[in-house]
Structure formats: C-alpha cells, structure tokens
Structure 1
C-alpha cells in the first residue's frame, strides 16, 4: 500500500531548476491501492495521476505547465463559445476503467455536443517525460482525440478503429494535422496565441483569427 509520495520513486525535472516539475513513479501497484491513493489526493487538485498496468505516475506541475494549460483551455472554450458549439468542460476529471487497468487525469478535457462519461478530447501539457504510455492509457479509456502540447507545438492524435490499425499508428492513434472534432479550428493560430505573453493581446489576436 502506498501511504505517501515519499514511498514512490522521485524523478525531478532537470531542465528548469527554478520552476521544476516533480514526478513520482511506482510499479506493481494494484487497482485497490491506486483508488486508495486517489482518495488521499482528492483534496489536492494540484497533482495529476496516471495509472496503466500497475505503473503509477504522479506529476506535480510547474508554473509554466499551469500557465500553458490555462491559456489553452481559455482559448479553446472561447472558440467553442464564439462558434456556438455545444460542449461540456470536464477539467482534470479522473477517468478510469478497472477492466482495462487504466486511469488518467488530463490537464483539460471536453465533451463535444452531448455530455458523456468519457470526454471526446483530452489535452496534455508535456514538460517532462515518464514511463507511462499516455496514448495507450487514453486508448483503453476510449478518448477519441488527445492533444499534446510539447516544445511550443500541439500534436494531435485521433483514435482509430481496431480494424483500421496499421503499423504507423501510435498505440491505436493516428497523428493528424487538424482536429476531427473541431475541423475549422486553426491549430497554428491556437499555438501562436497560446505563446503570447499578454492575455488580452492573445485573446484579441485569437478572436481576429477566428472571425
């Protein structure tokens, strides 16, 4: 039983000592212990917990991480509002499937059109690497699209039917240039405005671009 983060392997990010991300990893964790740890952390929304086949990863995000994920969420929700696309923001809701031995807490996630138990879109802001296969986790959970923000760019992945799987796909996902869920959204514009330092300037630029 994992009683505290001190019992997990600690893997600090070394790229930015002044604003580090902390990663705690442990293997051979059964489902009951995973759920017990979720209960222990339920009052601390700062942590992101991922589980796959007994491997548990907990990330304590950096300030940079939170700034990017908050800006992305704001711009995406602004776009959905301006285009009058029905949606349900689900934040960092814990998604889990015991039979699939998989669980995740995205940085942000959304249901498009109808509300569902599993979101259509999950967003991950990546500043560190770990041993969790995130796309495999989301495949088992049934998330249709996963967007990774990494090195100031978005990488989009679309879940494929099992009958269509080919060797070029990554854990059942095909990398795509434009979203299947939001095909009119200009991803390059979204990337550009996410990186603008001033919030008002970023939103104004984004609004002009989607008009």
Structure 2
C-alpha cells in the first residue's frame, strides 16, 4: 500500500504525518537519518510522524530537564538522563520523547551505547512538550513500551499521567517519580521560571527541591 501524507505546519513545530508506512521503512529512515538529525520520529502500526521541534519547544524542554535534575539530585540516589533516545518494540511501534529519565533502573542502563527494549527496561519518566504538536497520539506507544509516567507541558500547564495496570494513562495530581511534586506546584514553578534568566531559574528549582527535602 502506498503511504499517504498530511503536512501539519505551525510557528511551533513542523510535522509530517504519513500513513501506511511499513516497519522496515521506519527502521531504514532511522538508520539513514542517523544520530545527528533534527527530526524526531514516532511510529505506531503503520502511522509515521516526523516532527522538527522549534526553538520554543526545545527551550521549554530544557527548562523541564532542569526541574527533573534538581529534583533527582535531592530525592533519587541515582538517575540517568536518556534524552530523546529512540525507544522501540520490534515490528510495532517506536517513539522519541522530548526527554526521558531512568531512576530505579539507572544502573542497568548506565554505560550502554544502545537500548534494546527486548532486554532493557523502558524509561520511568518521559517528557512531552505540546505547543501545537499533540503528544496524546503517542500515549498508546508509551503504554505499549511500559513507560510508568509522562509529564505533558503545553507552555502554561503541566499534566502528570500514570500508566494503569490495564494499559492506559490516567491524569494524576502528583508525580509518581517525585511524590513531593504536584501538577499545581509544577505549573507554578514553571510559570515563575518562564520570566527568569537561566541561572536564576536553576537556583529557583534547587531551592524548591532543597526545601521539600527537609
């Protein structure tokens, strides 16, 4: 079957949605584009999405990374940032989050050059930045991979989602990875950080995490 496409452009992202794409085509694209590409790919049973993140998207992603690292330094004995690694289940689905993190399984991942979900665990936390590119379509991929928690940020509100035993995500008021952090507090922190120079927002996150660890 010949792939069909839909182009979705905006100030925030440039996206191309292709349907009727084979698994081999997806894997070949990953190989041909290589590791130093600016396009993120997600694949779910024949549907391929290509997205080129904007500066606004990447800036928000960086701020969220700062928050996770500040919390992890206070509340986790170990962690590994896996960035936008390609996580895939052979023959069915693959996804590249804005960011991803290992905590409990950090020691199992450290030092690896590649991650194979046939033998390696999925990340415990992924971050998706939704300015205009809706990440909800990718939730089914994360569920199939077994990702326990998703943070979804649209530039104004942070939503926290936990994977349920039946294989779907439910929005929750508190983080699973960091129970001290609620959706409301995270949103407030991110709103404060939006108007600060980066050194000051780093101090803000570190101070907040230190106060909650007492």
> Quick check: TM above 0.5?
yes
Unpaired stretches in structure 1, ≥5 consecutive residues: 163-170
Unpaired stretches in structure 2, ≥5 consecutive residues: 107-119
Deviation at 1:82, TM superposition (A): 2.8
Q: 2:124 aligns with which of 103, 115, 120?
A: 120
Kindly report which structure 2 residues correspond to 1:49-198, keeping only aligned pairs within 5 A, or say none.
49-99=41-91, 101-115=92-106, 116-129=120-133, 133-162=137-166, 172-194=168-190, 195-198=194-197
Which whole-Å CA distance do the structure 2 matches of 1:192 and 1:132 have between them?
A: 23
Residue pair 2:162, 2:170 contacting (<8 A) in 1 also: yes
CA RMSD of aligned residues (A): 2.3
Q: Which moved more, 1:174-183 or 1:74-83?
A: 74-83
1:174–1:11 distance in 2 versus 1, CA, 3 Å: same
Which whole-Å CA distance do the structure 2 matches of 1:182 and 1:30 have between them?
A: 38
User: How many residues end up aligned between the 2 structures?
Assistant: 193
Deviation at 1:84, TM superposition (A): 4.3
1:107–1:96 distance in 2 versus 1, CA, 3 Å: same
Whether 1:12 and 2:16 are equivalent positions in the alignment is no
1:44–1:24 distance in 2 versus 1, CA, 3 Å: farther
Q: 1:23 aligns with which of 15, 18, 39?
A: 15
| TM-score in terms of structure 1 length | 0.82
Deviation at 1:189, TM superposition (A): 4.0
Which whole-Å CA distance do the structure 2 matches of 1:209 and 1:130 have between them?
A: 30
Which whole-Å CA distance do the structure 2 matches of 1:172 and 1:151 have between them?
A: 24
Which whole-Å CA distance do the structure 1 matches of 2:44 and 2:162 have between them?
A: 20
